[in-house]
Structure formats: structure tokens, C-alpha cells
Amino acid sequence: MTQTLTDTVELPPPKEPATWQHIKHVICRGNLDDLYRDPVCELAYRAWSKPVKAQWGSLERFIRVERLHWDDTHSSPSSAGNAFFEDIDDEWLVKMIPNHWPYNIPLKCRHWCVWSRKPITHITQLPSAPDSPGGPVQHTPSTNGHGHAPAAAQANGRVAPSSPESLPSSSSYSSSSSSSSQSPSQPSAPNASSSSSSSKLAHAPHARPVPWPFPHMSRKEQEDLYAAVSHDGIRALVLPDEDARGAAPEPVTGEYVLEFFRSRPHHAARLVAPSPSQHVAGTEPKTGAEAEAMAARAADATMAYFSQHCHSFVLKTFPPKQGWRSVLFCNPPHLRTVPGLDHWHIMSLAPDAPPSVE
């Protein structure tokens, strides 16, 4: 995979850099619109973008041709298969480059964009629902706003949901299997491999597939949840084990996804007891703080499911075992400045970052 590690824009450091805690909080619970550029960077970006748009016609065309060298529009044999972004080493499909106009981030933090020819999330990631086994499915827009896509029966590997205790969380993924001999001052370049359109998560030593956590959810509810994910944008934390073993990590939820489970406490309860026959005292829908905690856990499991391919990419590129601390997010359509090109963001704090950036 091609990584342009040195092609950066020299900008003065922000006068008031964001703290790492602020970045993590926005990723976990906030509106992604709360991540923004430093005013100096924003003014420089606007001044730069005007002549670029005039010369190239649009920022999308400039990035596609000049930055990514994706000037061809013909399909590649490797573009068949799953309709959504996957963690595969194929520079025709995926490229990571620095964000030349980064958001306000802490010192010793880098901001990267991962560009993809495929949508980052897609309606085909939804499994078959109990009320539509093998039957016709409804059509809904994909998150990148490119039109409609039919929902496939379990497009992500036909894995059966396991017990919720074994489900990875988007706020506390384990990094114990991630390893690399790269210097901690640079991200790890993914190893070259033959490209494949099928999911590789089941075979990736650094990652772990996340099964669909709501096997009893109807098709209509699945699509409503997908719409909530699309509005919030996927996000996840990718932290070293010692971070995850400290204070209980804040769940990664998003506003609309959390509200979805607040209004459907029975699904949040079933995340604890996956089938009605397994319901025991204490797993029925609750009220107050208990209900909020259940809704947050269900929202966190949802984000873990939809972000798993992006998370796998970050684990491989910025190994937590080397001390990298990262967040990932994909802006929802209404926040994208280049809506015609699918991409998501990585903010990675270097292993040698001083405690003052916290």
C-alpha cells in the first residue's frame, strides 16, 4: 500500500492545541463536528482551496488525480466482491496519506486520511433478519450517498453471533496480538499481499472479526440502526493494553446510535442475554442509570461491528504494542468536505508524546 509519509504542509503549531482527552471524548460520545481545524490552519486551507478548485474544477478531482493518482475510472478485477471498505493491501483500492490540513490536534499527534474506492460502510454489512430469511429485502441509501444498494444475506462472512462477553468493544479492543519491528517513531507499512475482495479479518493475525451483535433485530430496525450509524459516523479507539486496563474505557456510542437504543431497551438487554430463553434476573430492560449503561453498551457494540475493518487497518499501521494511541472516525455525509471520495480519518499520538498533551 502506498503511504506518502513525508508529503506534509508546514503550518505553525496551533496556539491552543486540543488535548488527547478532548479528542477521545468527541470520538466516544460527541458530535464529530466538534473536531475542527485551528483558525490559522482553516484560513490557510480556504486560501489554498480557491485556486485549486479554479484549476481542477473541484477538490475531489485534485485529490483523486494529484494526491491519489486515481485518474482512471475503470473497474479493477480486485474491485469485485464486498461493497464496503476492507483492510486489504491494494493501493488501487486504498491509500493512506497525511491530512495536509489537519484538525486541531495535540502536539506529537498525526492526522491521516485513508481514501477508499469503496464506501467505508454499506447497507450490505447488515445480516439477514429473522423476519426476512432469504427473502426479498428493502433498498436503502448507502452511507456515502451514492444511491441504493441491495442488502445481502450476511455479507460479512456469515459469522454467527457469539456471547456478548466475547464481543470486542470499540472502546477497548485488545492489542495483544499486534506486533511489529518498526521504529516507534513511524507507522508500520502494511506488508504487500495479493489483493482479495473477500473479507480477510478471519485470517488477519492482528485483528479479530466482530459478529453482528443483535440476531433478533428485525430488518426495519436494522435499517433504522444503520441510518443512525450513518448520521453519527463510525468511530473507535485503538489503545495499548495498559490504557484499556486502567479506568473503565468510555463507551463509543455517537448521539443517534445511543438514542436508538434508549428507545429500544429490549435490544440493549438482549446484548446481555442474547436469546429469550437465556434471560435471567437483572437482564430485563431497566430505567435510569442502568438503562443508560445498557444503551451505551449496545451502541458501543454497534460501532465495533461497523468499524472493524478500519480498526484492523489501524492495528496494523499504528501498532498499540509499540505505544501508539489512535482514534479513528469516518465523518457522516453532512460533514464531508470532499463528499465524492470515500475516506476516513486516523489521529495517532506518538509513543514519545509528553504527558502534557493529555
CA gyration radius for the chain?
A: 20
Per-residue confidence in pLDDT tens, the chain, 358 aa: 443 333 445 666 778 889 999 999 999 988 888 998 999 888 988 999 999 999 999 999 999 999 998 875 545 545 555 778 877 677 778 999 999 888 999 989 999 999 998 999 999 899 976 665 444 333 333 333 333 333 322 222 222 222 233 333 444 433 433 333 344 445 655 443 333 333 455 445 566 788 999 999 999 999 999 999 999 999 999 999 877 666 667 899 999 999 999 999 999 988 854 444 444 444 555 678 999 999 999 999 999 999 999 999 999 999 999 999 999 999 888 888 888 889 999 999 999 998 888 8
Q: Considering the entire predicted model, what is its pTM?
A: 0.74
- The span from the CA of 68 to the CA of 62, in Å, is 9
- The span from the CA of 303 to the CA of 283, in Å, is 22
- The span from the CA of 89 to the CA of 87, in Å, is 7
269, 231 contact by CB (below 8 A) = no
- Which cell goes with 103? 484538525
DSSP 294: H
Number of Cα atoms under 13 Å in the Cβ half of residue 199: 22
SS3 58: coil
- The span from the CA of 209 to the CA of 160, in Å, is 11
Contacts of 7 (CB under 8 A, 6+ apart): 97, 98, 100
| Number of Cβ within a 10 Å radius of residue 22 | 17
Beta bridge partners of 85: none
328, 87 contact by CB (below 8 A) = no
Look-up: residue for cell 491521516? 112
Burial 120-146 (b: 16+ CB within 10 A, else e): bbbbbbbbbbeebeeeebeebebbbee
